[in-house]
Amino acid sequence: MSFAFTSRLPLSRHAVDRDSEARSTPGLIDALLAEAGTRVLALWQGSALMEAEAPARLRLLAPGQIPAADFRLYLGRSLALDAPEPVGTALVAAALTDEQATALEPDESRWAPLRHVATTVSDRDAGLFTETLGVVNWHGSHAHCPRCGAATLVENAGWTRRCPDCGGQVFPRTDPAVIVLITDADDRILLGSNALWEGNRYSLLAGFVEPGESLEAAVIREMFEESGLRVTDPVYLGSQPWPFPASIMFGFTARLADGQKPEALLPDGEEILDLRWFSRDELRASGDSIILPGRSSIARAIIEHWLGEPLDFGPDEVHGWR
């Protein structure tokens, strides 16, 4: 694993001290919003408010500019030296209703989803947007206690939910998944086409880690389930959060197990419909005949890492998690 690789992953970038120790401070967000120097990220239906001028940049608002949102989240303190606000500035996110967002900025083009801006915003903005979206998505699916079903209450500046009936606390979760570049003896890579995609869209194989399973074991199991091939020697490259809605992708390489024939491909027929081997020359020459992962995905970074150079084709955004 190398931080040089991880630094290439758009959603792994950050320039914020999450300041977790402060989250339990009573009335923290109200106190921060009473300070003129605090800055607020406005989120609406998964999109963040952006500045009008280039380059792409989050429009962080002063407390007096933001509506009184029902959900607010303490993000931490800025560490960015190249940001408009000073280092140490407190940062808060506010999830807005349709009416609040329209009143704040009626031009919908000023609201951008993370996939559209992940590769163009700064480290600070990429980290803030990813953090906010991941936590907000988690809250959207945890409004009730998993033990007794009672409605839960938001606490700790947006970082926990507590059940008023049984007293249980629930903390934000993220679902681990492995994504794997498989090579054969000729150093070709295996790409698959998902049933939910266009027929010419290909990416690396991936799957969720099961309870009681190591990442390495998940690599071996998932690759067999999706391709029918046995792989060995999983090597970890790096990870990237993928808050669509709540995953983290662990990137690996693996090679075909000894005695395993590359042509013995067996796509599962439900999730993976087609599998193809590509040499470097074949991938370079494919051009528009196939659609590769978008530049915001870890799959794109892993493929380019193997290729030894960036690809000059492919979408800027990616559908699904690959």
The model's pLDDT over 47-59, given as tens digits with 9 standing for 90+, comes to 999 999 888 999 9
Query: pLDDT class for 313, splitting at 50, 70, 90?
Result: low
Residue 25 tokens, joined: 């401070």
pLDDT of res. 1: 44
Mean pLDDT of the 232-260 span: 97
Residue 316 predicted with pLDDT over 70: no
Q: Say if residues 322 and 293 touch (Cβ distance below 8 Å).
A: yes
Could you give the CA distance from residue 309 to residue 91 in angstroms, rounded to a whole number? 37
Number of other CB atoms surrounding residue 304 within 10 Å: 17
Pairing of strands 90-95, 39-44: parallel
Residue count (the chain)? 322
Q: pLDDT tens digits for 18-33?
A: 999 999 999 999 999 9
Could you give the CA distance from residue 297 to residue 217 in angstroms, rounded to a whole number? 23
User: Which residues contact residue 183 at a Cβ distance below 8 angstroms, ignoring those fewer than 6 apart?
Assistant: 189, 190, 253, 254, 255, 256, 306
Identify the sign of the CA torsion 200, 201, 202, 205.
negative
pLDDT of res. 314: 55
Side chain identity, residue 105:
E
Residue 322 predicted with pLDDT over 60: no
The least confident of 4-13, 115-124, 235-244, 297-306 is: 4-13
Query: pLDDT class for 321, splitting at 50, 70, 90?
Result: very low
pLDDT of res. 54: 83
Could you give the CA distance from residue 172 to residue 245 in angstroms, rounded to a whole number? 12
Could you give the CA distance from residue 121 to residue 114 in angstroms, rounded to a whole number? 10
pLDDT of res. 36: 97
- Average pLDDT over the chain, rounded to an integer: 94
Could you give the CA distance from residue 59 to residue 114 in angstroms, rounded to a whole number? 14
Q: pLDDT tens digits for 169-211?
A: 999 999 999 999 999 999 999 999 998 887 789 999 999 999 9
Mean pLDDT of the 118-132 span: 97
Mean pLDDT of the 151-155 span: 97
Query: pLDDT class for 315, splitting at 50, 70, 90?
Result: low
Mean pLDDT of the 305-322 span: 69
Could you give the CA distance from residue 309 to residue 322 in angstroms, rounded to a whole number? 19
User: Which residues contact residue 121 at a Cβ distance below 8 angstroms, ignoring those fewer than 6 apart?
Assistant: 55, 56, 57, 58, 129
Could you give the CA distance from residue 67 to residue 97 in angstroms, rounded to a whole number? 10
Q: pLDDT tens digits for 75-109?
A: 999 999 999 999 999 999 999 999 999 999 999 99
Residue 181 tokens, joined: 């570049």
Percent of residues, the chain, with pLDDT higher than 70: 96
pLDDT of res. 317: 52
Mean pLDDT of the 9-25 span: 97
In the chain, CATH 3.90.79.10 covers: 175-307
Side chain identity, residue 51:
E
Q: pLDDT tens digits for 40-84?
A: 999 999 999 999 988 899 999 999 999 999 999 999 999 999 999
Range 175-307: architecture per CATH: Alpha-Beta Complex (3.90)
Percent of residues, the chain, with pLDDT higher than 90: 89
Q: Say if residues 297 and 197 touch (Cβ distance below 8 Å).
A: no
pTM above 0.75, yes or no: yes
